[in-house]
Structure 1
């Protein structure tokens, strides 16, 4: 095989280093067999660069690992702050290993990993990670077709999230002291809001314009023209003032494209990745974000209560298994529901700013790869039949609850 140009790799990452990593884990490969593939070609790549490096052993077997690095190209909707990648490094170096060790100590043979294994750091801090596809993990089929997750995948995701939240509880505040970036949300932090406000406003204004062609939306048009400037500040205020009873390490970008699943003896297993948005806060923030970016419409209509109950049951069980009875007692299901109400503005914001992206990632990537005609991209988002069904269902519901 022919070795690819090293310019494909992030700055500071050399093929020789990757060969050393492969060999450290028992794979005897040659430099000349390595080739690089951009994992984000289906959409994404807004916070970091993710590459898969493949190689062949002398016995002819193919092996691979994943390289995560800060973005080399910014703009077109991508976030440029190097701090985003610092968060992920902090999670892989402290929070996630501690959480997995705690879970392993109480779960025994039932233990399952929360994340891909970390294989080291190189090239200016780039992360080398296990390639989950080798272990049989895949994104949900509905993710590839730009649809929301079904009830089974949502339940699996939230059970996994509950394990992460519970296991991070003892160290979350301490980790945020070590890495100050973990004290504030990327999407809903007060210091970042001014950077995101103009884009959020423009998105909602365009939505109001595009959806005005649909009779069901016309009664809401003027309201959204007024709300355009306030949807993000409302979410930011909700996050900053939420009187949470349980502080956990949040994923911060907990959506269907940042998780993979596999079936093992009829058990649906889930692993999470892309922790650049991680920060401490109320569990309800991750839940609102997930429900309004990743659940199918059928799940939102009929299974939301089931999902909250499944999440809370796993959270309680894991907290108590870890000896955190006081934290479990302070967080009954009623408290979770109260915090879900307090953080409802996060769900509203996600519905009108993030959900249309999640349902049309192919169009996003196409535009970012070309001229990035934002107007054309927004029209594709908001006229997507999948998104229209969500908007027509959720908008009256939000109004009824006083969220508009």
Structure 2
């Protein structure tokens, strides 16, 4: 196993000098291993934070390793809600509740359906979850997919998006996930009301995210104005800063979707791993904290504008959509959902992609710069820190002047303008 490649939220690294939460006693961890099916020797357990700073995005994510009584290696990921701060759907508890419903209800049902429909061709799409553990604390126990041979794509560790082969595998996997959750998506959202709204594009999140989005766009316009190609767009961006998030929220809420699925909600290259065996790629998706119901096009716009290489985006977008739709249709029909398949022809998917184009615009100017520069996110994200504002400025400077990002921005900005997507 590689310590820098664990299935935690937006992993940057595993740090060697770290502190661990009080609840992570050796006896507690032995019991966690036990529930996951491992009888481990207590003094063999090694505990690591699964990303720098001691936790993932709004969660405490730990990697456990140990030795069983038979001498075999055992590993496990434990994910716990952070006991601090946040409101509503963006609170740590809210995100953890979403993910818990996914791993204990949505995904097991989807897996059963896929296994029945696909038979021997079935392959897992998410880490196995032995369950929720720890009483009132509430821990998710998850398979360590690195131990099963999964790795981040080579380009994911660099400032580049995924190549065509990785994107095609991701599209097929996403289509299977969407198809397998179609039958029960609405019911699962009744069980957990948070699943009815997008974390990033839900109307209740506007008070929390609007100011941050505006500040970021204004800073972006200031930085990009150094480049001659951008200057003709500067005034539009100064006006656009107030409406960028609002237009994405409106697009999601008003989308006339003909197929309701359980969306991943943060479907990007840092939340997937690939297995390279027998010259065949397999993919696993993790981090379902942003899961919610909606149109498949929301996940697709998010992925296309955060995770593909520029070459793929320029030359192969139609191929990716066709591959996604073909797999979706095949899987829906295999699951006995012919009516849903008939109602969701490729033309309908394309219409929803157009309706949700503002999601792609938002991702291009707010998320993509960071996705291409995760190694720059190396400071304390505590907003109460006296150095927070200065550190954010330094981060944005790195993100928006990154040559890889500038290539995306120079290609997409005229495209967005041509399609009236930069209007305030």
TM-score (norm 2): 0.89
Distance 1:310 1:43 in 2: 38
Please report how far the alpha carbon of residue 126 of structure 1 lies from its aligned counterpart in structure 2 after TM superposition: 1.3
- Mapped to 1, the partners of 2:186 and 2:289 lie a distance apart of 17
Residue 84 of structure 1 corresponds to 95
Residue 382 (structure 1) aligned with residue 395 (structure 2): no
Q: Distance in 1 between matches of 2:303 and 2:181?
A: 19
Deviation at 1:242, TM superposition (A): 0.2
Change (3 A) 1:286 1:119: same
Q: Alpha carbons of 1:5 and 1:368: their partners in 2 closer, same or farther (altered >3 Å)?
A: closer
**CA apart distance, 1:8:** 0.7
Indicate conservation of the 8 Å contact 2:132/2:138, yes or no.
yes
Per-residue CA distance 1:247-273 (angstroms, 9 max, x = gap): 000000001111111023222111111
Residue of structure 1 in register with 2:6 after alignment: none
| Contact kept? 1:312, 1:333, Cα under 8 Å | yes
Aligned residue for 2:130? 119
Query: What does the per-residue CA deviation read over 1:341-376, in whole Å, with 9 as the maximum and x for residues that have no partner?
Result: 000000000000000110111111345499431111
CA distance in 2, matches of 1:148, 1:51: 27
Distance 1:16 1:95 in 2: 31
Q: Does the Cα contact within 8 Å between 1:42 and 1:362 map onto a contact in 2? A: no
Cα distance in 1 for partners of 2:300, 2:46 equals: 38
With over 3 angstroms needed to count, the CA separation of the structure-2 counterparts of 1:48 and 1:146, relative to structure 1, is farther
Q: Once the 2 structures are TM-superposed, how far is the Cα of residue 69 of structure 1 from its aligned partner? A: 1.4
Match of 2:266 in 1: 253
Give the alignment's Cα RMSD to 1 decimal: 2.2
Hey, what does 1:298 align to over in structure 2?
311
- What's the offset of the Cα at 1:14? 3.6
1:8 is the counterpart of 2:20: yes
Confirm or deny that 1:70 pairs with 2:81: yes
Match of 1:225 in 2: 238
Q: How does 1:350-361 map to 2 (within 5 A)?
A: 350-361=363-374
**Aligned residue for 2:221?**
208
* 1:391 match: 409
Q: Contact conserved, 1:208 with 1:221, CA < 8 A, in 2?
A: yes
Deviations 1:186-217 (A, max 9, x none): 00000111110011000000000001101111
Deviation at 1:47, TM superposition (A): 3.1
**Which residue of the other structure, out of 97, 104, 120, is the alignment partner of 1:109?**
120
Contact 2:49–2:55 (Cα < 8 Å) also in 1? no
Q: Distance in 2 between matches of 1:196 and 1:13?
A: 33
Distance 2:53 2:322 in 1: 33
Q: Distance in 2 between matches of 1:131 and 1:175?
A: 26
Helix, strand or coil: the match of 1:374?
A: helix
Corresponding residue for residue 135 of structure 1: 148
- SS for the counterpart of 2:146 is helix
Q: What is the number of residues matched between the two proteins?
A: 398
User: Residue 43 of structure 1 contacts residue 365 of structure 1 at CA under 8 Å; is this kept in 2?
Assistant: no
Give yes or no for contact 1:255–1:294 (8 Å, CA) kept in 2.
yes
CA distance in 1, matches of 2:239, 2:346: 35
Unaligned ranges ≥5, structure 2: 1-15
Taking the aligned partners of 2:332 and 2:29, their CA distance within structure 1 comes to 39
**Which residue in the other structure is 2:62 paired with?**
51
Q: CA deviation at 1:38?
A: 1.9
Relative distance call for 1:137 and 1:273 in structure 2 (3 A) is same
Q: Tell me how far apart the structure 1 counterparts of residues 54 and 237 of structure 2 sit (CA, whole Å).
A: 28
Q: Distance in 1 between matches of 2:146 and 2:74?
A: 10
Q: CA deviation at 1:114?
A: 1.6
The separation in 1 between residues aligned to 2:64 and 2:246, in whole angstroms, is 41
**Which residues in structure 2 correspond to 1:245-284 (within 5 Å)?**
245-284=258-297
Deviation at 1:182, TM superposition (A): 0.4
The whole-number CA distance in structure 2 between the counterparts of 1:209 and 1:6 is 38
String of CA shifts for 1:317-343, please: whole Å, max 9, x gaps.
000000100000000000000000000
Tell me, what secondary structure is at the counterpart of 1:148? coil
Mark the runs of 5 or more structure 1 residues left unpaired by the alignment: none
